[in-house]
Amino acid sequence: MNDLKIRIVDKLNGAYPSLKEVLGVSSFENPKNPEHGDMSLPCFKFSSLLKKSPHAIAEDFRAVFLKDDSFESVSNINGYLNFKFDKKTYISFVLEKYSSGSFFNKMKDIGNGKTVVIDYSHPNVAKNMGIHNLRSTIIGQSIYNIYKFLGYRTEGVNHLGDWGTQFGKLMWALEQWSSFKEVEEKGILFLNEIYVRFHTEAETHSEYEDNARAWFKKLEDGDEKALKWWLLFIKVSMDAYNSIYSRLNVKFDHITGESFYIPFLEDAVKKLENKDLTEISEGALVVKFEENDNMPPCLLKKSDGATLYATRDIAAAMYRLAEFDPYRILYVTDVAQELHFAQVFKVMEMYDPGSKGKFCHIRFGRLSFPNVQMSTRKGNIVPLSEVLDRARDKVIGIIEERNADIPDKLSTADKIGIGAVIFNDLSVSRIKNIEFDWDKTLSFDGETGPHIQYSFVRILNILEKAGNISGKFDTALLEDEFSYELIRSIDRFESKVLQACDENEPSVISNYLIEMSKCFNRFYQNNRVVGENEDVRSSRAFLINTLRSVYGQCMELLGIPKIEKM
């Protein structure tokens, strides 16, 4: 379809040379109402340049194509120039475009030469990954997948919470109540138990907190035993985290916790001081902002000289700018950290004005379980591993109820359960809060992960039964309502992926998958592939094979496992 877009752009730029800087193939979108056409050019952004209303501009543009027989119609609807293609031409363009592997490779040109750093997941060491860690992990991985697909150099960073007084609490408690060997044997769940016990007993033993601070000071000073404990915490934590990451197919290019940036803290503070950005306020070192920034000062050092979370994030930001020369740095965290990152980004902008616009907080809402108020100190955490296990076990129950004969039932159930959990999260706008509902999440009907996976299995089954795909199709045999609807849905792939990238919003892909699934199932209910004459079989099989490529690619972008039998 880019060929047609290029022709349209060339014609309009020829008629209106002043448009050349603002009009390109990326200016087009799919009409919100498919009845309006196959492709739309919004004319609103040309108003200031051409000194006319969008409606008048669209009418002028329409006149350029009055004698062009490439289009069935060109219409102006409320400032949108809508193109409706001749069906045969359109079908041929779409199927040839999306059946070619070269198209997917060409999309990688979009991000070529640009680096995007994505900071996601970042669990706190020595604490079990809970359901509250899920959103950052899978939203971040999906965004990583989207940028990578578009050819950006992607640097996925897991910024572990591996520094702070909580480690002093564990060290002192384990010295009193346990041993290295017991921690090695029992792992992260045991650390959680010790952490809860510490806080329970500290309510009546105030000296516990002093002992914890003393142990953390030992760690800061490089004490051998404290360091040994700390490294053990990291090891048992990463063993647990990697097990979950493997199941979710989550990967990172760099695993660097807060501790990695400790050696850079003083230098980072000095750089800010050298630019006269800091001042002393009530004994603390801060960066103050302009009144119209509407933010409290960013605290860099307490009155006792201790650095803070913001100091470490500023040091990390300076490091990433120097190390990666990024086009963008994305921080995937919940909305509660909005002020924190607004302060950090503003400090970085004051320090390096060239970094303005490079930092982006990818905010998301909270994920909750009914009647569960989560708190690590009280032990009220829903472990993510248990959620994935329970999803798998529930799917096994559903399979057995249906008497389904599925090979490798355990592995298949795990993939369905994981797909269900991922899609439940990514199918809504990331900024929305989600309450986890088992029945809705694991349903094989409706707009759910299992339904998306089941549609893909149906696609594969059709192709398996159809046999050889000749690589040829007759456009006249694909003009029926259901084939044409599916073709138009396939053609939205490019614009949907670009939108998901521009908005850092995986739900765009999720909702597109739902749309494709609905179109495919209407096709499936009304059009046969197997059992038709050779020309019909070949043409419809070609269409379904093209759908397989696009549909499967969307599943990969979201991280939803593909299943061949279900």
Residues 41 and 27 in one domain: yes
Return d(Cα 377, Cα 357) in angstroms, integer.
Answer: 37
Residue 499 lies in a domain: yes
Give yes or no for a contact between 116 and 126, defined as CB atoms under 8 angstroms apart. no
Read off the pLDDT of residues 135-177 as tens digits, 9 standing for 90 and up: 999 999 999 999 999 999 999 999 999 999 999 999 999 999 9
Domain assignment present for residue 442? The answer is yes
Average pLDDT on 270-282 reads: 96
Percent of the chain with pLDDT over 70: 98
The DSSP secondary structure of 524-557, one letter per residue, reads: HHH--STTS-HHHHHHHHHHHHHHHHHHHHHHHH
Q: Are residues 126 and 201 in the same domain?
A: no
Q: Are residues 141 and 169 in the same domain?
A: no
DSSP 8-state code for residue 123: P
Residue where one domain finishes, among candidates 226, 248, 270: 248
Question: CB–CB of 566/412 below 8 Å?
Answer: yes
CATH number at residue 284: 3.40.50.620
- pLDDT score of 437 more than 70: yes
Tokens of 527: 């059009």
Average pLDDT over residues 456-483: 92
Check residue 2 and give its pLDDT: 59
Q: Which of 315, 336, 368 is the last residue of a domain?
A: 368
Say which range, 185-194, 463-472, 522-531, has the weakest mean pLDDT.
463-472
Tokens describing residue 535: 């020309």
Average pLDDT rounded to a whole number, residues 500-526: 97
415 shares a domain with 552: yes
DSSP for residue 29: B
Which of the 8 DSSP states describes residue 164?
Answer: S
In which band, very low, low, confident or very high, does the pLDDT at 424 lie, cut at 50, 70 and 90?
very high
Residue 523 pLDDT > 90: yes
* Residue 93 is assigned to a structural domain of this protein: no
Q: Residue 451 and residue 328: Cα distance in Å, rounded?
A: 35
| Neighbour tally for 531: CB within 10 Å | 9
Domain boundary pick from 248, 281, 303: 248
Per-residue pLDDT band at 30 (split at 50, 70, 90): confident
pLDDT of residue 23: 92
Q: Do residues 127 and 173 both lie within one domain? A: no
354 domain-assigned? yes
Does residue 377 lie in a domain region? no
238 and 256 belong to one structural domain: no
Structural domain span for residue 210: 165-248
Within this chain, do residues 239 and 275 fall inside the same structural domain, yes or no?
A: no
Alpha-carbon torsion (231, 232, 233, 239), positive or negative: positive
Q: What is the pLDDT of residues 66-106, one digit of tens each?
A: 988 778 899 999 999 999 988 888 899 899 989 887 888 88
Does 101 fall in a domain? Answer: no
pLDDT digits 0-9 by tens, 363-382: 999 988 776 555 555 556 78
pLDDT band at 118 (very low <50, low <70, confident <90, very high): very high
Where residue 43 sits, what CATH number does that domain have? 3.30.1360.70
User: What is the chain's Cα-based Rg?
Assistant: 28
Residue carrying structure tokens 């990666």: 324
Stretch 305-322: mean pLDDT, rounded?
94
Min mean pLDDT across 17-21, 110-114, 168-172, 517-521 is at 17-21
Tokens representing 492 are 């939205």
The pLDDT value given to residue 3? 67
> Does 221 have pLDDT greater than 60?
yes
Integer Cα distance of 200 and 330 in angstroms: 37
pLDDT band, very low/low/confident/very high, at 541 (cuts 50, 70, 90): very high
Tell me how far the alpha carbon of residue 467 is from its chain's centroid.
36
258: left (phi over 0), alpha (psi -120 to 50) or beta: alpha
Are 462 and 390 members of one domain? yes
The total domain count for the chain is 4
Q: 3-class DSSP state for residue 357?
A: coil
Question: What's the pLDDT score for residue 57?
Answer: 96
Higher pLDDT, 469 or 465: 465
Measured CA to CA, the distance from residue 376 to residue 127 in angstroms comes to 8
**Which pLDDT value is given to residue 5?**
82
The arithmetic mean of pLDDT across residues 30-45, rounded, is 89
Same domain, 351 and 300: yes
Edge-to-edge strand ranges of the sheet holding 254-255: 254-255, 153-158, 115-119, 328-334, 359-364
> For 107-130, what is the mean pLDDT?
95
Q: What is the pLDDT of residue 380?
A: 60
Lowest-pLDDT choice from 30-39, 400-409, 528-537: 400-409
- Residue % of the chain over a pLDDT of 90: 78
Sequence-separated (6 or more) residues with CB below 8 Å from residue 183: 174, 190, 191, 232, 236
Question: Strand 80-85 vs strand 71-77: parallel, antiparallel, or unpaired?
Answer: antiparallel
pLDDT band of 1, cuts 50, 70, 90: low
- CA 351, distance to chain mean position in Å, is 29
Phi, psi of 374, rounded to the nearest 5 degrees: -80, 135
Strands 80-85 and 39-42 turn out to be antiparallel
Same domain, 473 and 454: yes
Question: Is 92 inside a domain boundary?
Answer: no
On whether residue 99 sits in a domain, the answer given is: no
Same structural domain, 265 and 405: no
- Average pLDDT taken over every residue of the chain: 93
With cut-offs at 50, 70 and 90, classify the pLDDT of residue 26. Answer: confident
pLDDT of residue 452: 97
434 and 302 share one domain: no
